[in-house]
Amino acid sequence: MTAIDAFLVTTPTETAPVPPARVPARITRAPRAHQPEPTHHHTPESVRDEAHDSMSPEQAGRLAAARAQVAARYGVTARRADTVAPQVAAAVAAASDLPRSVLDVQLGHRSVRRFLPGPLPPLVLPTLVAAAQSAPTASDLQLWSVVAVTDQARLARVADLSGGQECVRDAPLLLVWVADVARVRALAERRDTAVHATGYLETTVTAFVDAALAAQNAAVAAESLGLGTVYLDGVRDRPEALGAELRLPRGTAPVVGLLVGRPDPARAGRVTPRLPQAVVLHHETYDTARQLRPLAAYERRMAEFYRAEGLDGGWVGRVLTRLRGHGSLRGRERLRSALAALGLPSW
């Protein structure tokens, strides 16, 4: 059973926030057949009693520690952890005995473009957002937002606006990461002050970097739960149209999409070999001459890799073809003017 299947078995299916003391039964390691998780609504009090009854001191300790972690992230008391980030403490507690380390998850990454049907457990989204918000953010500006799309009709429209990839239509969840200076502009307006720096390229880049760091934290969190992810840069193909679809306010721009779902095991991708470290890692100063030497062996490995995928050629040819002209950018070559139209002039 994958981590996320365990969550599916053991977490409530209702979308209401998990009441304070509730914790997925994964912590109790309850087998599906013997101890199914109730899916009906409880009053908080009855749930609290049940949860306390069924929790060992170790489980209660884990949940308390997870609540303290969530509380620290949002700057509230532990009692408020479940209010500010519903279900996240339960997910963190449940995840604490997952067998994969962070490095294991990172090194095992592969993009997943085929998902099993069906919605994700309700705790997934708030958990991914908590992971995303735990990423560093330049000057604590937090210049990003995220739009979660699960509606099938909207997913289909987003697919049409972003290159037409089938996996967008099939995914249970699309997260559109958004560079966002609209929020600080609104705050400035309220205080009757100006934030001229939000019009400069530096601030736009800061917002894009912030959004990307947040997205990658969410991606690693999703993969740690056994979910699959793939990024989608097609969200920048037609940013004004996508902005209208998602009702993005002026001062925001889509940065990248992230599809999240349960990977279809029949179509599990392989780990794509990366460049040798000697190519990308420079010691003290950039060494151009040394950089290209180890490429030949990589090229052979990649030609083999692509052949196994039914594709011709090697890595170098693919990269050069992709970047030969602006055709492959599919509209993104006009990003500068699109950003200006979205209220990010990026002077």
Which residues lie near ligand FMN (CB under 6 A)?
Answer: 109-111, 113, 165, 230-234, 256, 269, 272
Q: How far is the CB of 283 from ligand FMN (least distance, A)?
A: 25
Q: How far is the CB of 277 from ligand FMN (least distance, A)?
A: 16
> From residue 111, how far is each of 47, 182, 190, 249, 265 by CA, in Å?
38, 31, 43, 30, 13
Token digits of residue 347: 């002077």
Q: Rounded to an integer, what distance in angstroms lies between the CA atom of residue 132 and that of residue 216?
A: 7
Q: How far is the CB of 338 from ligand FMN (least distance, A)?
A: 17
Q: Among 112, 119, 120, which Cα is nearest to 230's?
A: 112
Closer residue to ligand FMN, CB minimum distance, 36 or 108: 108
Closer residue to ligand FMN, CB minimum distance, 67 or 238: 238
Closer residue to ligand FMN, CB minimum distance, 49 or 166: 166
Angle of CA points 184, 190, 194, to nearest 5°: 60
Closer residue to ligand FMN, CB minimum distance, 44 or 163: 163
Closer residue to ligand FMN, CB minimum distance, 14 or 309: 309
Q: How far is the CB of 233 from ligand FMN (least distance, A)?
A: 4
| 222-249 as b/e: b if 16+ CB within 10 A | bbbbbbbbbbbebbbbbbbbbbebbebb
Residue 119 DSSP one-character state? P
Closer residue to ligand FMN, CB minimum distance, 47 or 207: 207
Q: How far is the CB of 237 from ligand FMN (least distance, A)?
A: 9
Q: Among 57, 36, 209, 227, which Cα is nearest to 125's?
A: 227
Amino acid at 307: R
Q: How far is the CB of 147 from ligand FMN (least distance, A)?
A: 17
Q: Rounded to an integer, what distance in angstroms lies between the CA atom of residue 26 and that of residue 170?
A: 28
Q: Rounded to an integer, what distance in angstroms lies between the CA atom of residue 160 and that of residue 155?
A: 9
Q: How far is the CB of 234 from ligand FMN (least distance, A)?
A: 5
Closer residue to ligand FMN, CB minimum distance, 50 or 233: 233
